[in-house]
Amino acid sequence: MQRIKTQHRSIGALSVIATLGAMVSTSAMAAANGGNGYVELVEDVSPAVVFVEVTASVQLAGAEASPMDDPRFEEFMKRFGGEIPQQGRSTPQQGVGSGFIISDDGLIVTNHHVIDGAAQVTIKMADGEEYDATIIGSDPLTDIALLDIEGDDFPTVSFGSSDELRVGEEVIAVGSPFGLGGTVTSGIISAKSRNINAGPFDDYIQTDAAINRGNSGGPLFNMDGEVVGVNTAIYSPDGGSVGIGFSVPADLVTNIVADLKDDGEIERSWLGVQIKPVSEDVAHVLGLKAGEGVMVEDVVADSPAEAAGIENGDVILRFAGQDIVELRDLTRGVANEASGSVAEIEVFRGGEQFALEVTLETREDKEA
């Protein structure tokens, strides 16, 4: 069965992610880069792209779940010279990924799933130097993590605007697929704002750049050498690249990185509603256009929504000036607003459209 794969979930496998893919118009590429393809661009950005090696200590499964009790397992290990693990022993597990340096004092962006559960993180530079990294913080919901290494005058890359990307635009990625550091491939932007059902903030850039194990956390560059995405997932029936890869857009990453840099944690706002799509039939009955707004199924007691006067059955049409078409539009819009800020919500109720003001609060774990 075909499935989305990342590095650690079933939308992903252990350390999956990004490197690049598909050959595009060679003549256009050469013309845009002085006849040398991507040579100068790659030379500029490659020193700031790093190999992320992770060591985690994982407790082996208990007797009930362990395949090691099967005599065939022991026979297999003996035959091929493998060491037979002991029940209950903690064994080191290795994982690999990619990342990129965003400040000359050693701040590094990678994927959350690359460093999740890490006991030790080692950064290997393009010139062969190695550094122990500290995890400043990470965000599972957007799959972004921020690391730090000691030193100064590191090579860096900067973020560009993912909102300004156009479908068909050329991009390149640099990373370490299967541990092969410094690998460069090229592709185009295949689509924007993809929802791959990985989480509430799905808004992925789709690219035909080939993404493979070990590229997770690596940068997707535009032709100006700016990071426009962080390579995170692939669609694959067998674990290999089929030319459908996904990157977290830079405009989202910059907000997450700034929040993590502040105190190592992500603070998101909370509205306090349960919502569902507005079906075509319901939209017709209400006199709305199909695909317009989301319907409030329930309002949480003592929530910002309740205080603002939002009611069950309301259709939320706009939030903070943005049209609401899909469920994720409202989820992402609320999360992007600062806790304590006042936002305007346009709702449809009883045949009338009007605006309410809501004062957002911090989203706690129990509400998440």
Task: Write down all domains in the chain, each with its CATH number in brackets.
Answer: 3-49+156-263 (2.40.10.10), 269-362 (2.30.42.10)
Which burial class, exposed, middle or buried, applies to 233 when counting CB atoms under 10 A from its CB (0-12, 13-18, 19+)?
buried
In the chain, DSSP finds a helix count (H) and a strand count (E) of 8, 23
SS3 content of the chain, % helix, strand, coil (to 5): 20, 35, 45
> What confidence category does residue 91 fall into, taking pLDDT thresholds of 50, 70 and 90?
low
Q: Which has more pLDDT, 1 or 88?
A: 88
Q: What residue type is 26 in one-letter code?
A: T
The tokens describing 42, both together, are: 């790659």
Give whole-number Cα distances, 255 to 110, 159, 252, 304, in Å: 14, 11, 5, 23
pLDDT for the residue numbered 185: 87
The pLDDT value recorded for residue 228 is 96
pLDDT for 136-179, tens place per residue?
A: 999 998 999 999 999 999 999 999 999 999 999 999 989 988 88
For range 230-241, the mean pLDDT? 77
DSSP summary character for residue 324? -
Q: Which of 15, 98, 139, 143 is catalytic?
A: 143
Catalytic residue among 98, 216, 236, 247: 216
The pLDDT score that the predictor gives to residue 292 is 86
Q: Is the pLDDT of residue 365 over 70?
A: no
* 284 is an active site residue: no
240, 205, 201: which is closest to 220 by C-alpha? 205
Helical H segments across 57-197, by residue range: 71-79, 112-115
Write out pLDDT tens, residues 17-60. Answer: 333 333 334 444 444 455 567 899 999 999 999 999 999 865 43
Of 177 and 9, the one with more pLDDT: 177
Average pLDDT of the chain?
A: 81
Q: pLDDT band for position 134 (50/70/90)?
A: very high
What average pLDDT score do residues 231-252 get? Answer: 82
* pLDDT tens for each residue of 309-320: 999 999 999 999
For residue 25, the model assigns a pLDDT of 40
Distance CA 345, CA 308 (A): 9
Residue 242: the pLDDT is 73
* Distance in angstroms (rounded) separating the CA atoms of residues 270 and 92: 39
In this predicted structure, what is the pLDDT of residue 344?
A: 94
238 is an active site residue? no
pLDDT attached to residue 258? 93
Q: Which of 15, 98, 112, 113 is catalytic?
A: 113
Note if the pTM is more than 0.85: no
pLDDT at position 8: 36
113 is catalytic: yes
What per-residue confidence (pLDDT) applies to 239? 65
What's residue 10's pLDDT? 33
* Percentage of residues in the chain having pLDDT higher than 90: 51
Q: In this predicted structure, what is the pLDDT of residue 196?
A: 79
Query: Percentage of the chain with pLDDT > 70?
Result: 77
Under the banding of pLDDT at 50, 70 and 90, the label for residue 129 is very high
